[in-house]
A and B are shown apart, each in its own frame.
Chain A
């Protein structure tokens, strides 16, 4: 009886998602204590809007990392798609929004295809290859918008907040538009996870050579992982375009590292093949709440880059130490 309970406890705490969730709950408690009215819809809506880019990009990054890759270009890719869309849109022509959406989708998918070809088919190391492509995106974004700017059609605002285009506009009830986007993202992954591609993504990430030997087209699977990531990038770009109505080529520069850190904090192993994409949401929330706590602690903005850098290093290091400890525990079990 006792041993059974121990086993149940072990299977719960042994999962990396459990510790991520625990940290997230602690974070929420701290923030809820620091801020009055945390559980109000309007506060939650504000938080969700602020954290949204990190959450979605971390999900995409998670998929790529599980497939054995890494995307150092997600921030600049997002900025490029954003720049292209806000450049195309014209406030006086309402159909230009549709053009912008389509061209933006094309550009976003193109980034995924290029990254996928470079990593999957050309077999370059993913870290340095996507670092290189990130500068290609930056260059293109600078060609499109040399100085920050851009415009948008009025109905486009709906992608950020549905109330702006008449849905429930009169009622006080907040309609969390970001939550709808998040739901869409989750559904995309839930569907893909249940297909052959979803299973292959895990297989390729954990053992590339073995997967190839058992007949999986590894390059194609990696390309698909990057494509999925680019769809998530597109979602964030649309959301940001609707929120700001303008774009800047340097908008995503600092985002990339946070996104990678969020995915790792979510328990997704850097070595690939292990992890839960939904846990990346929790990872992103943890990273965001940490920066909120820094803000509440009254640390001036000059120190915030420093503190966030320290936290990112600590988070990455601790997750690696955790996996090392797990491996040791596993070996111990074998020898016993």
Chain B
């Protein structure tokens, strides 16, 4: 066996690729899906340039934006390790959306109060998730699933199953559903999120602590990081982001509905895995997660265009998740 010392090559392009290989891999997947989709649709219908066009790409990004935002929640919870996942994000978003829909009531005046309320709602349930998983050591999937039940129960009780009359403010509606030229306005939110997450994980002490806990809990604990507290905080921030996303969801749909967030939970997890981020923790790459969300959304568009609808979507998501997990995080062979 060769035992050469590892030599860092002084090759700028190659080094740049190696430093960002996750982003490039996911970008490659985006290109494959778009080109493949174009080929399939083109061969099937005979009309070319519908799937792979500038308009279609930006529409896909606008639709994928919510998967990206929920993916941010998952990224935060996943990076602290301990098999963390948050299944309650979509439900928290629904509850926050329904409450803030009433507060906003189609006027811009209510926006500050609406945002604060959404954050409070998210923080409350996120804190609950964090407490049960971090301090009591319960598996996060079971806890957040139960929390999702509770939140959905509150939604049912709050709305009493009658149509909801909460409408978004014009500013929120503009931000979440309008286009300026070909660009969807919600891209501003996504750019802000990517910048914040990149700075958080690249430059700040908090980011290092989060990643450190995920990489090696014991080492982090021995170096003086309050592991349990920070894990709980990760769940809380995840809840807060979910609450704010709920406000944007109301804007995007025009009015709140009882199950607007629940369908985003599974895609948000798959987006993180497709982005190549280790689901065992200790890693974060939000830009890659966003690209993963685009992959999923364009796959969904393809399924809809082929007439497979929901069945194909869920089957595809499940299969992708298993394949990606197998590729990235197979457990070590027992010796």
Give the B-binding residues of A (Cβ under 8 A).
70, 72, 118, 122-125, 127-129, 131-143, 146, 208-209, 212-213, 218, 254, 256-257, 260-261, 270, 302-310, 312-313, 316-317, 320-321
Contact of B146 (CB < 8 Å), options: A72, A133, A312: A312
Does B182 make an interface contact (CB < 8 A)?
A: no
Question: Are B329 and A139 in touch, CB under 8 angstroms?
Answer: no
Q: Are B83 and A133 in contact (CB under 8 A)?
A: no
* Cα separation A95 to B141 with both chains bound (whole Å): 43
User: Contacts A128-B279, A132-B325, A208-B334; is A316 near B153 (CB within 8 Å)?
Assistant: no
Q: How far is the CA of A142 from the CA of B98 in the complex (A)?
A: 29
Report whether B157 and A306 are in contact in the complex, using a CB–CB cutoff of 8 Å.
Answer: yes
Contact B314 A139 (CB under 8 A): yes
Q: Is the CB of A139 within 8 A of B312?
A: yes
A128-B85, A306-B156, A313-B132 are contacts. A140–B315 as well, Cβ < 8 Å? yes
Alpha-carbon distance A140/B332, docked complex (angstroms): 31
- The stretch that binds A, out of B51-59, B110-118, B229-237, B316-324, is B316-324
B156 near A135 (CB under 8 angstroms)? no
Are A302 and B266 within 8 A (Cβ)?
A: no
Which residues in B have their C-beta under 8 angstroms from that of A261? 146
Size class of B's contact patch?
35 or more
Contact of B154 among A70, A306, A317 (CB under 8 A): A306
Would B153 and A306 count as touching, CB distance under 8 A?
A: yes
Q: What is B's interface to A at a CB cutoff of 8 Å?
A: 83, 85, 132, 136-139, 141-143, 145-154, 156-157, 160-161, 266, 269, 279-280, 309-319, 321-322, 325-326, 329-334
Docked-complex contact A136 and B315, CB < 8 angstroms: yes
CB-CB under 8 A from B326, the residues of chain A are: 118, 122, 124
Q: Could you jot down 14 A-B contacts, CB within 8 Å?
A: A122-B330, A124-B331, A125-B280, A132-B319, A132-B325, A135-B314, A135-B317, A137-B318, A142-B315, A143-B312, A302-B153, A305-B149, A306-B157, A309-B146
Closest CB in chain B relative to A76 CB, distance in Å = 9
* B318, A308: Cβ atoms closer than 8 Å: no
Are B138 and A136 within 8 A (Cβ)? no
Q: Which 10 A-B pairs have the closest CB atoms?
A: A139-B315, A306-B153, A135-B318, A309-B149, A123-B331, A142-B311, A305-B153, A309-B150, A136-B318, A132-B321
Q: Which residues of A contact B313 (CB under 8 A)?
A: 139
List chain A residues, Cβ under 8 A from B325. 124, 128-129, 132
Distance between B255 CB and nearest chain A CB, rounded to angstroms:
20
How far is A143 from B313 in the complex, measured between Cα atoms in Å? 11
